[in-house]
Amino acid sequence: MKEILIISGNRVAPAMTGGQVHSLSIARALARIGHTVRIYSLAGRFEDYAPRSLLRDRSPDNPLEERLSEETNLGLFFGVVQAVTRRLDYPRIWQHAFLSRGFIPHGLRTALRRADIVLSDLPYCAPVPGPWRIKPWFLISHNLEHKLLEQGGPRQQRYAEWMRRIESRAPREYVDIFACADEDRDFFRDHDDSRQLKLPLIRCGVDPRAYAGTREMREKIRSDLGLGPADWLVVFSGSGFAPNVDAFEALEGFCASEREFLARTRVHFLVVGSVAASASRNGNLIVTGSVPEILPYFAAADAGINLVTRGSGSNVKIFEYLAARLPVISTTFGVRGTELTPVTDYLPCTGVDLKEVVTRFIGDDRTYWRSYAEGVWARHKKTCDIQDLVESAIASIPAFHTVQG
């Protein structure tokens, strides 16, 4: 078994965004195979920088489970750089600039010396020059970052071509790349002049054990939300990522225009996560804002919805809905990166026809939809369960199996 180091731009655990869910799920899968996995995060979250924290330059080693831990650099310089660039809406170019020039914290140097294998989480975490460059170094791709920058604000768009060059060089800088979806795998294959990369696919799968909600959990959350047995609850989860915000605004508009229909049919939409700045309730639209744990809300829901129409890679929320055994209502774009078939595996929705789709959904009882969701999971488990995905991805990569001399 190997000592695996994952370099991340920000603290990963507990996961608060789809990207963090993906990273943490991969780390957990590697640890459960038997490897020792350490996540080194270059910067913390806002709450990590309380005054008392500034007396130390890193977080205490955070054991997440057996053979898996995370260390977060809390050096004030990196923290200030991150805060300023976020406030100005710049992408994380500073991370690439520092790492590619070898400007790294002492803790990361120590971790690099100990590691047998290094994984860069996103192309912003560039390979670090030094003696550790002879070690097998891999990239975890979550999507095509340059595509996301092209869809961002003016300061994001300014760096889209820069990121495209970074991603174009990636096949020459890494032993291999773990792609997230066909889109990024095809891009990296087109730029692999050597034709030596395997480009194994690790979709945005999740650990199904983490989504096994209980009846007690379901009843408590529904009671807290003021919902009874006859009420239908459809959940939308997401971070403050721009495509999620667009989808949330579309859902807000629908709930406002169809207020009478939703009241009459007792259909409620629940929006969970930092896609909304704060909690609110307007008619049959319930918004939580950021929450410490999302699982109870999945357990309380009757279906998951995804109205996203732009972005790159795939949406982790779809895999979470499937693992939570929720029937899925989604745009065709929203299920990209999966093998789901319209109608058979999910209810397709353009957004414009949401009222008709909701009417179709509540036309069958919960017993039918639970059976439907179980069937979808059974058919697609191999492409949704992160353990299966990671084991399959590394099976043909010698670095994860050979004994180093």
- pLDDT at residue 51 tops 70: no
Cα separation, 214 vs 229, in Å, equals: 16
First to last CA, the chain: 14
Residue 405 lies in a domain: no
Residues 179 and 83 in one domain: yes
- pLDDT at residue 89 tops 60: yes
* pLDDT in the model for residue 405: 42
Q: What is the mean pLDDT of residues 25-31?
A: 95
CATH value at residue 274: 3.40.50.2000
- pLDDT at residue 333 tops 90: yes
Residue 238 lies in a domain: yes
Cα separation, 233 vs 253, in Å, equals: 17
Residues 351 and 392 in one domain: no
Residues 187 and 233 in one domain: no
Residues 247 and 300 in one domain: yes
Domains held by the chain: number: 2
Residue 247 lies in a domain: yes
* pLDDT in the model for residue 60: 60
Q: Which residue has the tokens 């639209």?
A: 285
DSSP string, 344-396: TTBEE--STTHHHHHHHHTTS-HHHHHHHHHHHHHHHGGGTBHHHHHHHHHTT
Residues 130 and 59 in one domain: yes
- pLDDT at residue 376 tops 50: yes
Residues 119 and 188 in one domain: yes
Residues 163 and 293 in one domain: no
* Radius of gyration (C-alpha) of the chain in whole angstroms: 21
Could you tell me which of 399, 386, 295 has the C-alpha nearest to residue 28?
Answer: 386
Cβ–Cβ < 8 Å for 390, 33: yes
Quote the domain boundaries for residue 379: 210-383
* pLDDT in the model for residue 16: 82
* pLDDT in the model for residue 337: 85
